[in-house]
Amino acid sequence: MKHQYSIVIVLLVAFLTTTSLFAQCEDVTVASLTNPGPFEVATLTEADGIRNGPDYAGATIYYPTNATPPYSSIAIVPGFTAQPSSVEEWGPFYASHGIVSIIIGTNSPFDFPEARAAGLLDALETLRQENIRATSPLEGALDTDKFAVSGWSMGGGGAQRAAVLDPSIKSVVALCPWLPSPSLDHDIPVLIFSGQNDPTAPPAQHANIHYNETPSTTDKLLFEVENGNHSVANTPSGANGLIGQIALSWLRLNMEENDCYCPLLADELLDDPTEASTIQTNMECAPIILGVTDYSHDIQVYPNPTQNVVYVNVATDVFFEIYTTLGQKLLQGELHGATKQIDISGFSEGVYYLKINNEAIKIVKK
């Protein structure tokens, strides 16, 4: 279901809540989306006692050794005729950021998307079993309500189909997905990567159709990499590292329900990146601002974007506040008279929110 990521705070606990929100979001920055992340990573295979799932052939679990559980998890499957090694860089990347990852092989290299969907769901069952296996280092460490699926090419098509088959999945990351005539009636938030020059799964025949066929009520994001080929999203290093940053933020937002990542995605990572040839999304983010209850455009602010000064068209004298996208208040004051203006020349370039009369207006400093 499409979300409006807003926060309404009861005045009685305003001060404590504001402090908590700022503490929660202050570390949510593009700089924190490193490759690798801050945690050490270890692996588990069937030789270590993990379950041998009947709907896939072989698996490797990547997990953090020095993070704090419970962990969210993601299952990943490769594409047609491809081996797990084709997507294996995703495993340690996610695990180094505290997300357990299981990368599976397929019973046949020629398995089509439906079989790969079954393999992904079977991999999630392996994670559930690992959470209760007495000798596993992951015993009791997994949040089995926070699972995601991902895959490349036919595996990406399989990830979309897995979301249709299992509504408990919290998120999908489809890597240059291949699935003709898709039936994708699900409400699981889906991130789709594609390559502009993909000869195997041309976006016009696959990724774009996947985006359009996913219901409009489902949160979705399509990121097409300029001049990208079919393997442009096989690693988190793709598109100068933007692939990994967007995927990690998407999982934090939708699988782990951390609203701090919505403005990070919308206002920073997706703000006209040079690596993208096309971006489509129906994401709706509201800033994390104390006491804001409305995000309309009834108050006119111009010029917007601006370099120095914004003028505010409002009939009465008003009190204003300016916040960052993550809720930090930078400026406040009163606006009087016929010509009401605010000087933001000292701000860095970026997106800010002007709060007036419990309404928030997005302003851009260039």
Residues serving a catalytic function are: 153, 198, 230
Separation between Cα atoms, residue 300 and residue 363, nearest integer Å:
11
Separation between Cα atoms, residue 101 and residue 71, nearest integer Å:
10
Separation between Cα atoms, residue 319 and residue 299, nearest integer Å:
13
| DSSP code string of 306-344 | BSSEEEEE-SS-EEEEEEETTS-EEEEEEE-SSSEEEE-
Neighbours of 266 (CB within 10 A): 21
One-letter amino acid for residue 106 of the chain = T
Q: Are 164 and 184 in contact (CB under 8 A)?
A: yes
Separation between Cα atoms, residue 363 and residue 49, nearest integer Å:
54
Separation between Cα atoms, residue 330 and residue 126, nearest integer Å:
48
Residues 3-37: b if buried by 16+ CB within 10 A, e if exposed: bebbeebeeeeeeeebeebbeebeebeeeebebbb
